[in-house]
Amino acid sequence: MSRFALRLILILGFAGALTGQNPQSWTTPFPPHRIADNVYYVGSRGLASYLITTPDGHILINSSLESSVPMIRASTEKLGFRFSDVKILLVSHAHWDHNAGSALVKELTGAKYMVMEQDVAVTEDWREVGFPVWQRSNIALQTRQSGSRSQGRGRVKLGGVVLTAHLTPGHTKGCTTWTMKARDGGKDYNVVIVGSPNVNEGYKLVNNALYPNIADDYARTFRVLKSLPCDIFLGAHGEYYGMEEKYARIKPNGPNVFIDPDGYRHYVAEREQAFLKALDRQKSERPQR
Ligand SMILES: [Zn+2]
């Protein structure tokens, strides 16, 4: 058997295994809805995608799975917007549940795909990383969203909207938390879309040859997240901010249910404790010499 065929089989087998693991909520549709101002939810029950509309076209955050793309498109159209008007595609981080559909979104819309510098390698070739990521590897990046070295921040501008990228690494090397301002009821609010502060099953926080400074990066992420002013709390998965529960509370002319600064603070504090606990546990498991 040729080497090429072997690799192909391995990749297909791997993809199958991952598909089998996907929670059902990831592929369950969810009603698209306005969060505030020009910010809309167009994701599934379990995978968050956000549409930010502008007079010059739209920004989409998270292409999600390849099978999510038709759902995201339908949600966009249901809200009265054209999917073909998506001009810029961004992601929360380079894991397949947020970016496997990126090649398809680019194909359908011609959108510019902007990825945080530190996540570019894995976006271009998933074999670059030591943890499983499934995605089409032939994505041509048109623009690299590189944070300035001192601040780890970058800006994306379209039609008067400014999105700021904050490098919040650890979960992936280029994990990105997006912030912007949104106006609601005559007031300006700070929107935060958390990239992910989670330490996944199997992550090595100690003696990680592929990612030696992973623990320091998580610590940096919590410093950044705690420094961000947040009124409207959003994230890469709806479960970060209680999306379903908040959606159920939406009432016509009622208060904006997504304004939740306390929920944000509690979430970040709880996730930091979970990280510190995992770090302590892994340090104590190290062989003593
Ligand atoms: Zn992830």
Domain residues of the chain, as ranges? 3-9+24-284
DSSP type of residue 256: -
Query: Which of the listed ranges 92-96, 142-146, 285-289 does the model predict with the highest average pLDDT?
Result: 92-96
Q: Taking the mean position of all CA atoms in its chain, how far away is CA 67?
A: 17
pLDDT confidence bin for 1, thresholds 50/70/90: very low
Q: Taking 80 as the threshold, does the pLDDT of residue 53 lie above it?
A: yes
Tell me how far the alpha carbon of residue 88 lies from the centroid of ligand 1, in angstroms.
21
Residue type, 132: P
Phi and psi angles of residue 55, each rounded to the nearest 5 degrees, phi first: -65, -20
Tell me how far the alpha carbon of residue 273 lies from the centroid of ligand 1, in angstroms.
19
* pLDDT for position 196: 97
pLDDT confidence bin for 100, thresholds 50/70/90: confident
Tell me how far the alpha carbon of residue 39 lies from the centroid of ligand 1, in angstroms.
22
Tell me how far the alpha carbon of residue 197 lies from the centroid of ligand 1, in angstroms.
9
Tell me how far the alpha carbon of residue 196 lies from the centroid of ligand 1, in angstroms.
7
We find that the CATH architecture of domain 3-9+24-284 is: 4-Layer Sandwich (3.60)
Tell me how far the alpha carbon of residue 134 lies from the centroid of ligand 1, in angstroms.
11
**Cα–Cα–Cα angle for 242, 35, 135, rounded to 5 degrees:** 70
Tell me how far the alpha carbon of residue 4 lies from the centroid of ligand 1, in angstroms.
29
Average per-residue pLDDT for the chain: 84
Tell me how far the alpha carbon of residue 83 lies from the centroid of ligand 1, in angstroms.
25
Tell me how far the alpha carbon of residue 107 lies from the centroid of ligand 1, in angstroms.
24
**C-alpha span between 237 and 242 (Å, rounded):** 9
Give the SS3 label for residue 41: strand
Tell me how far the alpha carbon of residue 193 lies from the centroid of ligand 1, in angstroms.
14
**pLDDT, average across residues 126-133:** 38
**C-alpha span between 96 and 273 (Å, rounded):** 26
**pLDDT, tens digit, for every residue of 146-181?**
444 444 667 888 999 999 989 999 999 999 999 999
Tell me how far the alpha carbon of residue 208 lies from the centroid of ligand 1, in angstroms.
18
The pocket of ion ligand 1, defined by CB under 5 A, consists of 95
Please choose, from the candidates 100, 111, 95, the residue with its C-alpha nearest in 3D space to the C-alpha of residue 175. Answer: 95
